[in-house]
Structure 1
């Protein structure tokens, strides 16, 4: 039996310091406002601890720190009572730690530089399965922590978020491997140079992609609106009663009519200022189901009269119904309904109905562009939104509604969908960060609901996007990581090295 190198082990005091540093960095590595460098080093120090102690202590203490950090990081971002929050956040901490368990089992058996691939492959696989299987979609992906590193995150146009996650984890594994070899250049220099070259190539390619984007592209003026809907929203609650009274219906009609009048007045103001596309934030247009046809007729008349594209984000409820329809309706300048879309991914526990299984097909827009749509939480599911990219969308309108604790992270997550699929994203947001970004993630306009009195964004948005490898091939890179990890598992079966 081959003995594990003593150089890979940590002493008690040293291991405690490494674990504490890992825990502190984990607390600023994700959540509402992560520090982008933190996850790179958090993973490295946590891996160094797990690898540097025996299996029981390393895995047990490492898991405890991961769960504790998760409880801190996601506080307020998961809108459930304390009891369920404890279990949900703890579960996220366990899922996050799974790649370290895989690494602890496989890497010592494989040995050598190849062992540095175990952790990134496991993280990429976890990122994929989380997006596919979790009811919260891609929430928690480490890729989103790199939102401010535009050259780096251009790689998602090829690999999806798994590519960024792979690089973060590979950095951690390589630094740990060099640490285990006392950072001896003679022993690790060649391999480290290869990794540095790969990272440099990724960032350089991203920079080239950003620089190659035409600066004189044809643009269209887009306005995203949010109107405070307090009275109307409270009155809509009366419809949820099993048997609303005539007085209840009258109160709902009065409040929603006033809200819709304000939305159309502000839409008119934006069109007069030059906007060709006007979009409302998620469920900002509140309407009783029986009054919806009249609202659509009004919107069509508005679109024809002003020559604009109008994207109505509606919450329609029938009296006595326990749920409401969360809709996005596109009206073109000819007064035709481009699409009527019901939110495909309702938030777990919400009262909204889920009807559509896919995002709508893009409709013709200004200057030869094509406009698609999605609603808020839909944007957290890369595989769903990829259908718009595959259909050739150039602009995606994504009406949304957030709350303080997920502002601004939720809007930043949506920008990744645009980079992946090559379309601009316009996200008018109630109680959050309204943002418009081009197909490479450059922010064209932004306004925070909690920091501005005029809840709107206005941006000149490129009418044409780009076609991307991710839109065509999907999660090919992530699935290749799954296959490569399975190959390492098979390879490790023949190894006799101890943990």
Structure 2
């Protein structure tokens, strides 16, 4: 289970194995004592994920882990309490419906989105399987993994190979359909050259050293003398502007900077934006810039923004990050209204980093989704890997430029168009030729219908089980 938590040490097949064994344990245990152990197992996995991702275990994160573990335990408890009261076929659906429903509920009631608790993210490299999320959302993969676990345990209890053949047929059908989608309906048509640029490590580290001198954090940075912080901030801005000129000269039509690429005191923000506007106008590019504004206004002390500037130097949108990382980030959140503008290169849209972990926010009719991000070494690659799900769900290309992590460009079927690792080079630049026409997916049209059906189905199965007599099972 520890190798299927959505972290940097994930092994895809582990996500298919551990539910089989945990479900076996609960079916051989007393209902409530077994549920307690399953809850402890999920809590341990959550703590492991926090530690391997170097998130830092604080009160908020621990409370979230306790609550998420309880939700993840419910499918096992439902299977233990209901399956003995149901015919074999509907009984096999209790656990998979419970898994999909629990994953969906996590995104509704917690501030963590799909960052933790989604089995789909462990399968990010399996493109044939991944295509199912364009119909069901990420909940479809959790359902299939749960269905496989339930079927194996059903055969373990009472050999019924017909059930196994049905399960295999379902899984093969999903894989064949996904493979056919990639083979026969690949993204095609015109492309646009997009460059993602991050500041060099030298100027980045100099700025980090400068900001670290202010022990009281954003508030202290906001109140600091301009001469104490502005030179280091300006060096980063100049580096980004130079990189933008270079990539525009090489043919890029869209340039994206990462989250918090520009760090500026509130009084200096307009000057920093003016420099970016002038560069976009001179280079004739659409320029997306990430800006961290330090304000003396408590308690947030600032904003986390992304601005899109057109080739005329006009600011087309100013988007504020809607989902601060719980227990880690402190700034004024935005309203979650995803901006979309029409350009010669299709409909461009934008969210910031952690926002992409919330499927409802990512259901946007766009052709290209720009995602400026800022991670860290232990989590950058895993976080970028997860972003591929949003691209397939929405049918659009997704460009994730990560300040201190792994950047990647995906098309609407999840193919990797380009990637760059900040820690593998002194200057991170990623260039990709990206399709300018996205596609409308079933999931985009029906939203979370599949997840709601799983919730409703679990309710129907529960009522059915309660009104039926318990059938004897030899355990």
Q: Which runs of 5+ in 2 are unaligned?
A: none
Is residue 454 of structure 2 the alignment partner of residue 462 of structure 1?
Answer: no
Please state whether the residue corresponding to 2:223 is helix, strand or coil.
coil
The match for 1:29 is: 4
Mapping of 1:61-460 within 5 angstroms?
61-77=37-53, 79-81=55-57, 86-139=62-115, 140-181=117-158, 183=159, 188-214=160-186, 216-227=188-199, 228=201, 229-236=204-211, 238=214, 240-241=219-220, 244=223, 248-319=225-296, 323-367=301-345, 369-386=346-363, 388=364, 392-460=365-433
Deviates more, 1:91-100 or 1:193-202: 91-100
Deviation digits for residues 262-293 of structure 1 (CA, Å, limit 9, x no counterpart): 11011111111111111111101112222222
Deviates more, 1:474-483 or 1:59-68: 59-68
2: distance between equivalents of 1:261 and 1:59?
57
Deviation digits for residues 90-146 of structure 1 (CA, Å, limit 9, x no counterpart): 443333222101111111111422211000001111011101111111122011011
1:68/1:90 contact within 8 Å kept: no
Query: What is the TM-score with the length of structure 2 in the denominator?
Result: 0.92
Number of matched pairs: 462
2: distance between equivalents of 1:167 and 1:45?
16
2: distance between equivalents of 1:84 and 1:394?
36
1: distance between equivalents of 2:378 and 2:220?
30
In the TM superposition, residue 28 of structure 1 has moved relative to its aligned partner by 1.4
Deviation digits for residues 287-343 of structure 1 (CA, Å, limit 9, x no counterpart): 222222222222222222211010010011235765221110001112221111011
Q: Which runs of 5+ in 1 are unaligned?
A: 1-25
In the TM superposition, residue 191 of structure 1 has moved relative to its aligned partner by 2.7
Over 3 Å counting, the alpha-carbon distance change for 1:36 and 1:243 in structure 2 is closer
In the TM superposition, residue 222 of structure 1 has moved relative to its aligned partner by 0.8
Query: What is the TM-score with the length of structure 1 in the denominator?
Result: 0.87
In the TM superposition, residue 75 of structure 1 has moved relative to its aligned partner by 1.7
1:281/1:401 contact within 8 Å kept: yes
2: distance between equivalents of 1:51 and 1:295?
61
